[in-house]
Amino acid sequence: MALREAVCDKFKRDNRLDYSPAQVLIDSGVKPLLFHALQAMLDAGDEVIIPVPCWTSYIGMVLLAGAQPVFVRCPEERGFKMQGADLEQAITAKTRLVMLNSPSNPTGAAYNAAEMQGLTDVLLDHPDIWVLADDIYEHIVFGNFVTANPVQVEPALYERTITLNGVSKAYAMTGWRIGYAAGPETLMPAVLKVMSQSTGCASSIGQAAALAALSGPQDYLRERAAVYQQRRDFLVGRLNAIDGLRCHSPEGAFYLFPSCGELLGKTTPGGERLDDSKDLAKYLLDSAGVAVVPGSAFEYDPNFRLSYAASMADLEQACEHIEQAVKALA
Ligand code: PLP
């Protein structure tokens, strides 16, 4: 109860949203919470709109709930963000849910209030569609940017939106395995029913740690975001200086999603042709010792994801290695 109350305080403090502890669930991370929420919300044959690139796990979880993902491609020219017209076009009579993730894994793209309103305006015309907001990177945003939550932007969506968040990213407490969600009273008991037959409950030790994180001082979150911002700025500049790579500068999270289209078709020193981002990721791992994730994992090519939740020294070295590997291609 103490943690659920702290979560209510957090939603009030950060998002100006009112929830009672009965509307809040705590689970062993956002990942199981997403799984349980989707099991509760979806039936076979339902369609779920997912802007892509998207976090890999959304796809498998929707499929495991028997539903069908409907991907909306959000190109780099539009900041990797879905617009109202894209959403409208993807909606059918079977659409049950729209999944939003701001800032996003894998692009770091985040919606401001006006951009979010472009989506919520469309949703107002479709009262049978649920909304899931995964705000786990909420506090990792740069400069004065503020990421928008759909209910905060459009209070009329309160009765059909579930917002998920956790301590893995903001507080770098990934291993403590605590995620939380808030939503309408019509939905949350159903999610709890699924959860109670699965994880049961989150570890009490993790809950105590999350309580300390959420109710303790919050000012260092801005300082931490400034450190990530320095790394983003360094990497965007450094990667764009490598011939063949193009990298956009996102609003948040700790990922970049550069395009490697110009490198495809080239040949490695070992004589292997790079046909897609998977081939490039393997080449970078084998020859440069740098781990990146191919865009196909996020339903978007020809790009790859890199994480900068790493020290500046490691990032500088990684860029050196990437540059050498790219230069060695013929
Ligand atoms: N949502 C997104 C968008 C993520 O990127 C991740 C982790 O990578 C999660 C949820 C899961 O976080 P947790 O550690 O709380 O399970």
Distance between Cα 30 and ligand 1 center (Å): 6
Q: How far is CA 121 from CA 26, 78, 95, 263, in A?
A: 30, 19, 16, 40
Query: What's the confidence (pLDDT) of residue 4?
Result: 98
203 CA from centroid of ligand 1 (Å): 18
| pLDDT value of residue 101 | 98
Is this structure's pTM higher than 0.85?
yes
Query: Do 262 and 275 share a structural domain?
Result: yes
Q: Could you tell me if 206 and 227 lie in one domain?
A: no
List pLDDT tens digits, range 113-144.
Answer: 999 999 999 999 999 999 999 999 999 999 99
Residues 130 and 278 in one domain: no
Question: Cα of 11 to ligand 1 centre, how many Å?
Answer: 18
Cross-strand bridge partners of residue 252:
141
For residue 96, the domain's CATH number is 3.40.640.10
Closest CA to ligand 1's atom 12: 30
7 lines ligand 1 (CB under 6 A): no
For residue 123 and ligand 1, the question of a CB distance below 6 A is answered with: no
Q: How confident is the model at residue 174 (pLDDT cuts 50, 70, 90)?
A: very high
Look up residue 95 and give its amino acid.
Answer: T
Q: Contact at 8 Å (CB) between 71 and 229?
A: no
Q: Say how far apart CA 52 and CA 71 lie, in whole Å.
A: 6
Q: Is 139 in the pocket of ligand 1 (CB under 6 A)?
A: no
Please name the helix (run of DSSP H) or strand (run of DSSP E) that holds residue 25, with its range, or none.
strand 24-27
Residue minimizing CA distance to atom 3 of ligand 1: 105
Q: Do 46 and 148 have their domain in common?
A: yes
Is the Cβ–Cβ distance between 240 and 98 less than 8 Å? no
Of 139, 132, 101, 117, which Cα lies nearest the Cα of 10? Answer: 139
Q: How much is the average pLDDT of 91-112?
A: 98
Least Cα distance to 64 among 80, 48, 76 occurs for 48
Strand partners, 25: 181
Q: CA 145 to CA 168: how far, in whole Å?
A: 21
What CA–CA distance (Å, rounded) separates 6 from 130?
A: 25
Predicted confidence band of residue 187 (pLDDT cuts 50, 70, 90): very high
- Expressed as residue numbers, the domain containing 238 is 220-327
Ligand 1 centre distance from Cα of residue 318 (Å): 24
DSSP state at residue 230: H
Q: In this structure, what CATH number is given to the domain that contains residue 288?
A: 3.90.1150.10
The Å distance, Cα 226 to ligand 1 centre, comes to 21
Average pLDDT of span 224-243: 98
> Distance between CA atoms of 21 and 4, rounded to whole angstroms?
5
pLDDT tens, 66-75?
999 999 999 9
**Residues 174, 33 share a domain:** yes
Pocket test for ligand 1, best of 169, 177, 308 (most atoms within 8 A of CB): 169
| Binding site membership of 166 for ligand 1 (Cβ less than 6 Å) | yes
For ligand 1, whether the C-beta of 101 sits within 6 Å is yes
Does ligand 1 lie within 6 Å of residue 179's CB atom? Answer: yes
Residue the block writes with tokens 């790579």: 245
Count how many residues are written for the chain.
Answer: 330
Contact 50, 38 (CB under 8 A): no
131 is written with which tokens? 């909304």
How far apart CA 325 and CA 269 sit, in angstroms, is 9
Q: Does 248 share its domain with 313?
A: yes
Last residue within a domain, chosen from 215, 249, 280: 215
For residue 317, report the phi and psi dihedrals to the nearest 5 degrees: -65, -40
Instruction: Assign 43 a pLDDT band (cuts: 50, 70, 90).
Output: very high
Alpha-carbon Rg for the chain in angstroms: 20
CB 105 less than 6 A from any atom of ligand 1: yes
What is the number of the ligand 1 atom nearest to the C-alpha of 174?
A: 14
Whether residue 134 has its Cβ less than 6 Å from ligand 1:
yes
Decide whether any atom of ligand 1 lies within 6 Å of the 168 Cβ. yes
Do 174 and 161 have their domain in common? yes
Which tens digit of pLDDT belongs to each residue from 263-278?
999 999 999 999 999 9
Q: Identify the domain boundary among 193, 215, 237.
A: 215
Residues 131 and 226 in one domain: no
- Please state, in angstroms and rounded to a whole number, the distance separating the CA atoms of residues 97 and 160: 10
Q: What is the pLDDT of residue 28?
A: 98
Q: Give the mean pLDDT of 287-296.
A: 97
Q: Are 317 and 252 within one domain?
A: yes
Task: For residues 62 and 107, state if they share a domain.
Answer: yes
Last residue of a domain, one of 200, 215, 230: 215
CB count within 10 Å of CB 156 equals: 12
**Which atom in ligand 1 lies closest to the alpha carbon of residue 101?**
3
DSSP per-residue letters across 189-248:
HHHHHHHHTTT-S--HHHHHHHHHHHHS--THHHHHHHHHHHHHHHHHHHHHTSTT-B--
Domains: count for the chain:
2
- Same domain? For 193 and 227 the reply is no
Q: Are residues 210 and 228 in the same domain?
A: no
